[in-house]
Amino acid sequence: MKKSLKIAIVHPKMTILGGAEVVILNMAKLWIKEGHHVDIISAGFSKEVKTQLNRNHCKTISIKTPFIPGYDTARRNLWIMGLRIRPLLKNYDIINCHNFPANIWLSYASKGERKNIPPVIWSCHEPPRSLYEEELNNGLVNLEFDPALDNPLIIAKNARHKKDNRQQWLIKKDNDAVNTLISEVIANSQFTAKNVKKIYGRDAISQHFPGNILKNKKKENQEKPLTNQKQILIISRLEKLKNLHIVIKAIKELKIKYKLKPKDFVVNIIGTGELDEKLKIFAKNQDVLSFINFKGFLSNDKLDLLYKSAYFVISVSRVEPLGLIPIEAASYSLPTIAAKEGGSLETIVPQNTGDLIDPNSSQELAEKIYEYLQNPKHVESLGKKAFLHHQKQDPSHSLINCFNKLFEKLLPFQ
């Protein structure tokens, strides 16, 4: 096999450094360190992301097309994106695709040109939720969020899950056909690998991806004094299944049952999404808005500062395929309270690096938050253990070894 390979990473959009984009950046760094040449092909790059990629010797190739956003799933536009990317692919030894619909672009690009398409490895963060909502959401479909209700997340009245229209049915069929194009699938967790098997009927290699480990903040975290107002950190898109209403209800319980006040703690919520305004209204209706700072999307530098000042982290999403947040928190010697579902079961050791709670129980979450607030030494101990655990579990080396074995398998004569 060649010592140096030309690898193309294909991803719909590189306009923000979200979870998948940070994984891509870190994977590119690892491959470049191994001596490979890495290009990133995408429908769009922000200036910040492009600068970071170029700084790490990654070439960026834009296939941006007027009036077609990167995540556009109109079938005609998927075909156009496939045609745009087709002439580029023959220049590479390996194609590594990430989020949907990049895999469908490749499928369309290969029509009639399969012999010119190099081996494709899909780094699966999760199967496309928009196509397989019922399978991936455990039946939680047709959800609405009504901030006027005490339990705001509801199934829409008189709603039935809509049957796929013809356009979506065809895209789903095309997505299923991607199976014949993709040589190997690497899933970011055992949870995701099971979903790949459920939907595509094929095995996937389970391998944690390298997340946004900014710096080792262990020393600074240990030395900083604990202020009277403890800062709790949440990093999440503001969407229905991210379960943030449970946090707001838990805060109300801490206020009423445990008589806590804003001077005792504050919750900093980082992220944007469809529920941005509705969550603020819900928090106001629950009379706990003074306990919460909705900070929107932040740069890595500002996020770094919040991690430094945080006491612990909460991540109660119902749909976390891996859960990079507990890994990221561990690099700052912070424990995480997370939902007992999905990838969090693989990234948290209960009562050792954090704790797992029932994602339906605001009471259980409130009890655990109160326990942490009252026991600084326990929280510090959990944070130290989380950092040491992460050091041992760093996925970088195992990920490189995993890909090297696949390269040898797929490129035996190079």
Q: Note the helical H segments in 310-375.
A: 324-330, 344-347, 362-374
Q: Would you say residue 152 lies in a domain?
A: no
CB neighbourhood size of 59 (10 A) = 12
Residues 278, 389, single domain; the answer is yes
Q: How far apart are CA 377 and CA 357, in angstroms?
A: 21
Q: Would you say residue 243 lies in a domain?
A: yes
Global confidence as pTM: 0.87
State whether residue 121 is helix, strand or coil.
strand
- Residue 124's DSSP bridge partners are 187
Q: Would you say residue 134 lies in a domain?
A: no
Residues 61, 175, single domain; the answer is yes
Q: Would you say residue 108 lies in a domain?
A: yes
pLDDT at 222: 45
pLDDT at 176: 77
Residues 247, 311, single domain; the answer is yes
Which residues in the chain land under pLDDT 70? Answer: 1-2, 139, 156-164, 212-227, 413-414
Residues 195, 325, single domain; the answer is no
Tokens of 77: 């536009």
Residues 187, 270, single domain; the answer is no
CB 346 within 8 A of CB 189: yes
Residues 121, 262, single domain; the answer is no
Q: Would you say residue 1 lies in a domain?
A: no
Could you give the number of structural domains in the chain? 2
Q: Would you say residue 143 lies in a domain?
A: no
Residues 188, 308, single domain; the answer is no
pLDDT at 397: 87
Residues 226, 188, single domain; the answer is no
Which CATH number characterizes residue 266's domain?
A: 3.40.50.2000
pLDDT at 394: 79
Residues 262, 225, single domain; the answer is yes
**Residue 406: alpha-carbon gap to chain centroid:** 24
Residues 105, 176, single domain; the answer is yes
Residues 34, 62, single domain; the answer is yes
Q: Which residues contact 73 (CB under 8 A, 6 or more apart)?
A: 101, 130, 171
pLDDT at 217: 58
- Residue 234's DSSP bridge partners are 269
Q: Would you say residue 146 lies in a domain?
A: no
Residues 389, 324, single domain; the answer is yes
Tokens of 328: 């990221």
386: containing domain: 218-393
Q: Would you say residue 130 lies in a domain?
A: no
pLDDT tens, 29-87? 999 999 999 999 999 999 989 998 999 999 999 999 988 887 888 889 999 999 999 99
